Amino acid sequence: MGLPKPTLPWRVLDLLKVHSLPRQSRSSPLANISAQARDVHKCSCCGLVVAFHEGSTKFRCSQCNATNMMVDFDDLELHPPNPPISFASVKALADECLAGPRAKNSHELHVKLQPLVDYLRAAFGSIAIINNSFQLGRPLSRARYLTSNLDLVEFRKTFELLARLPSRKPLYSALCATQYSIKRLPLHMTGNPKNLYWAVLLIEIPFLHKALTISDNRPYAHSSSIVEMPEIRSLCYDILKRVLGILSQTESSASGNYLASWFLKLDNEEFVLKINLINLYITFHLKRCFYYTNNPKLARRASLGELFQITQSHEDEYERLSYLKDDLDDSSENPPSWPHLRLSSGANGKANTNAMKIRTFHYTQNYHLRTATAVLGIFVKANYIRNEREKVPVYVFYNSLVDYVNIKLDFDGWLSKKRAPECAATHEPSVRAVIDYIKGNSSVVAIADLSRTDGFFFCQYPYLISLGGKISILQYEARRQMERKAEEAFITSLDKRIMMDVYFKVRVRRENIVQDSLQCIRLNQGNLKKGIKVQFLNEPGIDAGGLKKEWFLLLTRALFSPATGMLHEVEDSNFLWFNVIPLNNLEVCYLFGAVLGLAIYNSTILDLSFPLALYKILLGNSIGLAEYKEIFPVSAANLFKLRDYLAEELAALDLTFEVSFQDLFGCTYERDLIENGSNVSVTIENRETYIEKYAHFFVSDGIRAQVLMFKKGFSSIVDGNAFSLFLPEEIQLLLCGSDHGRIDVDVLRSVTHYTGWKSKEDAVNSRVVNWFWDHLNRASVEEQKRVLQFITGSDRIPATGIENLSLNLNRQNNGKDSDRLPVAHTCFNELILYEYSTEEKFTEKFTQAVTMLSGFGIK
Residue pLDDT, tens place only, 142-152? 888 888 999 99
What's the rounded Cα separation, in Å, for the pair 245 and 365? 14
Number of H helices, E strands in the chain: 34, 15
Give the residue-averaged pLDDT of 183-189.
Answer: 85
What count of other Cβ atoms lies within 10 Å of the Cβ of residue 558? 18
Strand partners, 184: 67
CB 772 within 8 A of CB 832: no
The one-letter amino acid at 65: N
For residue 99, what pLDDT band results from cuts at 50, 70 and 90?
confident
Calculate the average pLDDT of the chain.
79
* CATH 3.20.20.140, applies to 477-623+720-735: no
CB 116 within 8 A of CB 97: yes
Which phi and psi (to 5°) does residue 678 adopt? Answer: -65, -20
CATH superfamily of 625-699: Hect, E3 ligase catalytic domain (3.30.2160.10)
Domain limits, the chain: 71-263, 477-623+720-735, 625-699, 737-850
Which phi and psi (to 5°) does residue 44 adopt? Answer: -70, -15
For residue 93, what pLDDT band results from cuts at 50, 70 and 90?
very high
Which phi and psi (to 5°) does residue 206 adopt? Answer: -70, -10
For residue 665, what pLDDT band results from cuts at 50, 70 and 90?
low
**Burial of 376 (C-beta count, 10 Å sphere; 0-12/13-18/19+):** buried
557 or 631: which leads in pLDDT: 631
The answer, yes or no, to whether residue 24 has pLDDT greater than 70, is no
The DSSP string of 811-858 is: E-GGG-B--PPPEEETTTTEEEE-B-SSHHHHHHHHHHHHTT----S-
Q: What is the pLDDT of residue 536?
A: 83
The DSSP string of 364-431 is: TT-HHHHHHHHHHHHHHHHHHTS-TTTPPPGGGG--GGGGGB-HHHHHHHHHHHHHTTTTTT--PPPH
- Annotated catalytic residue within 45, 46, 61, 827: 827
What count of other Cβ atoms lies within 10 Å of the Cβ of residue 35? 6
The answer, yes or no, to whether residue 460 has pLDDT greater than 50, is yes
The one-letter amino acid at 522: R
Let me know if the fold of 477-623+720-735 is the same as that of 625-699. Answer: no
What's the rounded Cα separation, in Å, for the pair 463 and 727? 8
Q: What is the pLDDT of residue 564?
A: 81
Which of 6-15, 63-72, 399-408, 784-793 comes out lowest in average pLDDT? 6-15
CB 611 within 8 A of CB 598: no
What's the rounded Cα separation, in Å, for the pair 466 and 249? 25
Q: In the annotation, is 736 catalytic?
A: no
**CATH architecture of the domain with range 737-850:** 2-Layer Sandwich (3.30)
Q: Three-class SS of residue 58?
A: strand
Handedness of CA 318, 293, 430, 17 (dihedral sign): negative
Name the pTM for this structure: 0.79
